[in-house]
Structure 1
Amino acid sequence: MKRTNFILNGFLALAIVLVFAQCSDNNNAATSSTAPAVGVAGSSNMKIAYVEIDSLLTKYNFWNDLNEVMIQKEENIRTTLNEKAKKLDADAKEFQRKLENNGFATRERAEQEQMRLMKQQQELQALQQKLSDELASENQKNSLQLRDSINSFLKIYNQNKGYDLIISNTGFDNLLYANPAYNITQEIIDGLNARYTPSSVKK
């Protein structure tokens, strides 16, 4: 469960990095079309801010609800597969017991039972693959929803703020040092949570 949660966080953090890059590109394009180019590196006219992705993922209620739903689904899948595997294992042991004690009326009957067990094993493997694919597909869908949610908010948010560049930061991956005055993480979190409706997450 923790492993899946970690993987989802990593995948969605990457998606959010792309979101902020896209938003910044759009904003810069709009700026260049309406005003002289002032976005020169080192220019005091350039307005920059950054967002800590780890904090955003931890405190954004939409993501927390999505994550909880996915954890529950993973647990349900695991329980279903374990129950079927346990039943199959019990049947296989019973087959072996009967085989060792000449419990089958004919050899053909023993072969039929063996084929039945092999078919059940194949069906269990197919079910495991199917449920795993469905879970991965839903994870991808969730990451797109998260990206769209943040992207649409940033477009509205930046209409008033007028940032030339909003940088995403995960640990020390992208930003080694920045003045905390440029940190707008909490503003983004508050804005996202304010417009989030919990009922929009399907369980």
Structure 2
Amino acid sequence: MKQLSTVLNGVLLVAVNILFLSSCNNTGNQQANVASNAQADAEFPVAYINTDSLLLNYTFAKEVNEQLMNQEEASRADFNEKAKVFQQDAVAFQRKVQNNGFLSMERAQKEQERLAKAEQDLAQLNQQLTNALMQEQEKLNRQLRDTLITYLDEYAKDHPYKMILSNTLGDNVLYAAEGVDITNQIVEALNARHAASK
């Protein structure tokens, strides 16, 4: 009986040792997993740029916006001048009709057709000017985006970022640790680069 008790104690001692060693291995594995996850985080750094701030502070973006506004103003002035001439012709036509100023009905009808054609031409001009502005805006936006993407390609070579996100009015980035917003660095670098290109 005493031998059985000694054997059981020996078996229990071995079992406790096995459980202890396996628990140490699991703790070591968990620590290794935590360390490897931390290393993976360090290998995949992410940053973001606040696009609104970039557009407000990037000199080239301001110039592009001003250029577009000037073009829109010129287009609007041109259209308004032609619309004013049309409006004056239409008022003069109405006055003549009310005062029986046309020698014949045929003459009045021809003037009405001319005004209808002028109105149609004015609508087409408005559409053409709108389309031209949209195309110019698209072209300038593409140039702006290209300058940013080109610079970020170079920036990523000197910095460890694997991904740089765009954040507009807090839409995409709901939380970011301090130091992840690189907007000011990018704006300063882009402005320096733009100034040097002039």
TM-score (norm 2): 0.76
CA deviation profile, 1:98-157 (whole Å, cap 9, x unmatched):
111111111111111111111111111111111110000111111110111001101111
Q: Which residue of 2 aligns with 1:122?
A: 120
1:180 to 171, 178, 185: 178
Q: 1:102 to 1:144 in 2, by over 3 A?
A: same
* Rounded Cα–Cα distance in structure 1 between residues aligned with 2:196 and 2:134: 23
**Structure 2 equivalent of residue 79 of structure 1:** 77
Whole-angstrom CA distance in 1 between matches of 2:74 and 2:196 = 22
Deviates more, 1:191-200 or 1:62-71: 191-200
What stretches of structure 2 of length at least 5 have no aligned partner?
A: 1-35
Would the aligned equivalents of 1:39 and 1:46 in 2 still touch at CA under 8 Å?
Answer: no
8 Å Cα contact 1:50-1:168 kept in structure 2: yes
The count of aligned residue pairs is 163
Q: CA RMSD in A?
A: 2.2
- Pairing partner for 2:64 from 60, 63, 66: 66
For the 8 Å contact 1:66–1:142, the answer to whether it is kept is yes
Structure 2 residue aligned with 1:164? 162
- Structure 1 segments of 4+ aligned residues over 4 angstroms from their partners: 38-42, 197-200
Q: Which moved more, 1:39-48 or 1:94-103?
A: 39-48
2:153 to 152, 155, 178: 155
* Pick aligned residue for 2:136 from 131, 138, 163: 138
State the alpha-carbon separation in 2 of the partners of residues 86 and 94 from structure 1: 12
* Greater share of helix: 2
- Does 2:58 match 1:90? no
Identity %, equivalent residues: 42
Q: Deviations over 1:157-191 (max 9, x none)?
A: 11111212212211221111212311111111111
1:110 aligned to 2:143? no
Deviations 1:20-45 (A, max 9, x none): xxxxxxxxxxxxxxxxxx99997343
CA contact 1:91–1:117 (8 Å) conserved in 2: yes
Over 3 Å counting, the alpha-carbon distance change for 1:63 and 1:41 in structure 2 is farther
Which of the two has higher C-alpha Rg? 2
2:62 maps to amino acid:
N
Report the AA paired with residue 98 of structure 2: E
The residue type paired with residue 98 of structure 1 is: K
In the other structure, the counterpart of 2:29 is none
Give the unaligned 5+ runs of structure 1. 1-37
